Structure 1
C-alpha cells in the first residue's frame, strides 16, 4: 500500500522533466495519474511507463490556460478515476531576455502559461472541492504549485519568468488562507532540477555527473517531496513555499514587516534619507538576485 493509494492526481507539463518524475513517483505510491502535456506523444509515453510498471494513468493534451479546456482535463480524470484529490501545477515556459529587450509577446506568453495555467485548473477543482465540503463530504485535497528561486529572489535575464513565479508564490498564500476551511491545502515548490528549460538556460551547470556520484540535479530528487505533499500525511502543511534541490529541502522565509521606525507623526521630506539609512543599516540583507 503506497501513501497515495486510491488518490487521483492531475499533473501538468508531465511529459518530461520534473512532471514525468512526479507522475512516475505518484503512480509508484498507488495514485491514479492524469498525465497532461501539450505534447500528446510525450504524455502517452509517460502513461506507457506507468502502465508497464503496473500503475494506472491516462494521457491528456488539453490546454491548461483556458477554463473550458481545463474543464475537459478535470472531466477526463473524473471519468477515468471517479474523483480528483491532487493538482500539481508544473507546466512552464521560458522567454528569457534582458528586461529592456522584452516584447509584449515575451511577457504575455510567460504570464499565460504560468499564471493563467496555475489559475484555471485550480479554480475548477477548488469550486468542486468547496461544494463537496459544503455538502458535508470529507475533502482531503491538495494544490501543489510551482514557483522558483527566480520568483523568490529574482533572476537576471528573466524578469517575466521571475514576476510570474513570484505571483505564483503569492497566489499560493492566498489559496491556503481561503481554502483551508474546505479541507484543501495549498503549497508551492521552488525546485532546482535538470529539465528541458534548465538545460536550455544553463546546460553546463545542470549536466549529469560522469561518474557514480550523487546527481544533484536529477528531477527524481524532488519527486518524494511532491508525493508526500499530495498524500493525506501532509494535511497540516499549507501555505508553505518549499525549495528543493538534490538532498536539500528548505522552507522559504517570505515577505514580512521588518525593521521599523515610527515617528508618530508625518515625516518631512528632509528626514526620510536619515530614516532610510537607519533602517537599511539594521536590516538583514536580502539574498542576491540570481546572476548578479
Structure 2
C-alpha cells in the first residue's frame, strides 16, 4: 500500500464532487476531503441543510462550492458539472453518495418484522414484503439510487477521460450483496444495480487510469439509526446484535476513511469494499 508523506495534504489540488452531501455520511465525506486539502463540490437536493454544510466547509478553509442538484434529473446534473468545470476546471474524484434509503414508518415496520424473523425462533413463512410494494414504492428508488449514479458518472468521465486520471467511489450497501435487507427489496435492487454498474464501468475505464470502486456500508451510526435503536426494547437490541458480530454500528469516520482510501493511489478496480462489522463476510 502506498503511504503519503503528508496525509493531511494528499488531496491538495484535487477537485472532489460529493453528492448527497447534506446527509450525515455525505457531510462527513465532504469535510474529510476538505480537511486534506481538496477543493470540494458538495451537492444535495436539500438547500437548507446544504447551507449548513457550507458553513462547516468554510470553517475548514479549503476552496469549496455548494450547489443544489437533483441527481435524478440529467439536466440538473449536467448543469452541476458545467458549473464545476467553469469554477474548478475539472473533476478528479466523484463520490456518488446521494440515495433514497428506507426510513419511512412503513420501512421501519418491515425492518423490525424482518429482524425479528431472523433472530427469534418462529415458523418459516413468506414475510409478504414484495407482494405488498406499490409501483410508487419501487420507482422512487431508481431515479436517485441508479439513474443519479449514471448521470453523475457520465458527466465526470467526460472530464476524467481526456485528462487520463480519476477516481469514482459509488456508495452502495450490504443490501446489494446480501439478503439482510430483504425487508426492502426495492432498495436492495437499486444498490445491487449500483454494484453491477460499478464493475462494468471499472473494466471500461481502468486503462485511462480511472479507477471505479464501490463502498458497501453496513449499519451506519447516523441519528436515524440511533433513533430506531432507541425505540427498541433492550431485548430487541440484543437480538439485533446477533447478526452483527462486531456488536455495534459503524462510526462515520470508519466509512469516510474507506472513501478517502479509495480516492487515493491503489490498484483496486471494480471492487466492493464493505465495512459492515461482520454482517456479511
Q: What TM-score bracket applies, with the shorter chain setting the length?
A: 0.7 to 0.9
User: For the residues of structure 1 that align with 2:167 and 2:173, how far apart are their CA atoms?
Assistant: 19
Contact 1:7 1:85 in 2 (8 A): yes
Say whether the 8 Å CA contact 1:40–1:59 is kept in structure 2: no
Choose 158-167 or 192-201, whichever is displaced more: 192-201
How large is the RMSD of aligned CA atoms in angstroms?
2.3
- Check if 1:194 corresponds to 2:221: yes
> SS in structure 1 opposite 2:275?
strand
1:104 aligns with 2:135: yes
CA distance in 2, matches of 1:113, 1:29: 28
Q: What corresponds to 2:55 in structure 1?
A: 48
CA distance in 2, matches of 1:63, 1:56: 23
Distance 1:202 1:74 in 2: 39
The CA distance in 2 between the partners of 1:200 and 1:38, in whole Å, is 23
Superposed counterparts of 1:236-247, under 5 Å: 236-245=267-276
Alpha-carbon displacement from aligned partner over 1:17-44 (angstroms, at most 9, x marks no partner): 1101100100011101111111112112
- Work out whether 1:218 is the aligned partner of 2:251: yes
| 2:176 maps to 1:151 | yes
- 1:82 to 2:89 alignment: yes
- Figure out how many residues of one structure are paired with residues of the other and give that number: 234
1:164 aligns with 2:190: yes
Larger radius of gyration: 1
- Alignment-derived partner of residue 185 in structure 1: 211
Match of 1:123 in 2: 154
The CA distance in 2 between the partners of 1:152 and 1:243, in whole Å, is 9
Once the two structures are overlaid, the 10-residue window that deviates more, 215-224 or 13-22, is 215-224
Q: CA deviation at 1:218?
A: 2.1
TM-score in terms of structure 1 length: 0.74
CA distance in 2, matches of 1:197, 1:88: 22
Could you tell me the TM-score, scaled by structure 2's length?
A: 0.76
Alignment of 1:26-41 (within 5 A): 26-41=33-48
> Which of the two has greater helix per residue?
2
Question: How big is the shift at 1:83?
Answer: 1.4
* Counterpart-to-counterpart distance in 2, 1:115 and 1:124: 15
Which residue of structure 2 aligns with residue 227 of structure 1? 260
- State the distance in 2 between where 1:227 and 1:46 align: 19
Task: Structure 2: state its 5+ residue gaps.
Answer: 1-5, 111-128, 238-246
Distance change >3 Å, CA 61–CA 199, structure 1 → 2: farther
5+ residue gaps in structure 1?
206-213, 253-286, 288-292
